Amino acid sequence: MSAVPGVWIASGQPVQVPTEPDAEDFLELDTVDDATLLDDITSMIRNKYENTPRHQQRYMGPSEIGHPCPRHIALRLMDEDGCNVGGDPWPSIVGTACHTWLEQAAQEWNEHLGRERWITERRVSPREGLDGSCDLYDIDTATVLDWKVPGQSRMAHYKRHGPGAVYRAQTHLYGAGFVKSGLPVTSVGIVFMPRAGQLRGAHLWREPYDPAVAQAVFDRVDNVSVLIHDLDVEHHPENYEHIPVVPGEGCDYCPFWSPNPKNSRQCAGTTGPAALLIAG
Ligand code: SF4
């Protein structure tokens, strides 16, 4: 044993081991109050979130392109900066973490079966220039599935009313992508997993695959693209005003929503938070 504090001799080799912290070090730690420590923790979480490529993505993929509002599509296609962004990232973080866990669960179940039943995170392209990663494809039933992890009120809404237009279109777009890649698709669906709840609260929405749903999305996007060109919004952004709006519950999450629009790239919608503020 060495006489030098912090150094222990093993097999004749000196090894440096950490010295015991002084009592003052603990006193130093005590000066960090709970609010400051919690701030450090949430900053660490935000840093990870903001540096995840998925959250920096500006490309409009199948999860968004089925939006029913032409103005929203136009502003996104033109990659305009949103004014209703930067909300609390936690729901998204939980959703992403759940997706990773569920993907592993499906792969482990394939190993358990000794065959591939579930295809996970398959990159599909419903049409040229549009692609995305589909959460799950069930080979046994030729079903395309997407995971959603909503909060309590949205979960109740989806159980009662089914998915909105954007989610529904997303599943049919993935369906079109799988068909293009040579796999059969008989149905598309969404597995809603409660963000605040239990496994028995999971809900499956499913309907027959209909290529007309994806085609309607392509037609709407093409029409908006023609408008963008004809109105020359790149040089005359004031012309965004001439692109129709279709307000709805999606306005809550629209990056261009503002209760007091300051320019033609912002929109009050007529429902969602705008309506609540106006009504209030
Ligand atoms: S706020 Fe609503 S109406 Fe306005 S562009 Fe967004 S989705 Fe369309």
Determine the Cα–Cα distance for residues 106 and 120; give it in Å rounded to an integer: 7
Q: What is the pLDDT of residue 249?
A: 77
Taking the CB of residue 185, how many other CB atoms lie within 10 A of it? Answer: 20
Is the Cβ–Cβ distance between 229 and 202 less than 8 Å?
no
Report pTM: 0.84
Amino acid letter for position 79: D
Phi, psi of 215 (to 5 degrees): -65, -40
- Domains of the chain by start residue, with CATH: 68-278 (3.90.320)
Cα first-last separation, the chain = 75
Rounded to the nearest whole angstrom, what is the distance from the C-alpha of residue 218 to the centroid of ligand 1? 19
Q: Among the atoms of ligand 1, which is closest to the Cα of residue 267?
A: 4
- Residue 188, class by beta-carbon neighbours within 10 Å (0-12 exposed, 13-18 middle, 19+ buried)? buried
Let me know how long the chain is: 280
pLDDT (tens, 9 = 90+) of the chain, 280 residues, equals 444 444 444 455 555 555 665 655 555 666 889 999 999 999 999 999 988 876 556 678 999 999 999 999 999 999 999 998 878 999 999 999 999 999 999 999 999 999 999 999 999 999 999 999 999 999 999 999 999 999 999 999 999 999 999 999 999 999 999 999 999 999 999 999 999 999 999 999 999 999 999 999 999 999 999 999 999 999 999 999 999 999 987 788 899 999 999 999 999 997 544 333 333 2
Q: Which of 65, 251, 271, 276 to mutate to test the pocket of ligand 1 (most atoms within 8 A of CB)?
A: 251
Whether residue 172 contacts residue 213, with contact meaning beta carbons closer than 8 Å, is answered with yes
The string of pLDDT tens digits covering residues 204-235 is 999 999 999 999 999 999 999 999 999 999 99
Neighbouring residues of 169: CB distance < 8 A, sequence distance ≥ 6: 62, 65, 66, 213, 214, 216, 217
Candidates 60, 67, 71: which one to mutate for ligand 1, based on the most atoms within 8 Å of Cβ? Answer: 71
Measured from the Cα of 71, ligand 1's closest atom is 5
Atom of ligand 1 nearest to the CA of 256: 6
Q: Which atom of ligand 1 lies at the shortest distance from residue 251's CA?
A: 2
Is any ligand 1 atom within 6 A of the Cβ of residue 245?
A: yes
The answer, yes or no, to whether any atom of ligand 1 lies below 6 A from the CB of 254, is yes
Alpha-carbon distance of 220 to 65, in angstroms, equals 9
How distant, in Å, are the alpha carbons of 74, 169, 204 from that of 186?
32, 15, 16
pLDDT for the residue numbered 9: 46
DSSP characters over 75-116:
HHHTTPPPSS-----HHHHHHHHHHHHHHHHHHHHHHHHTS-
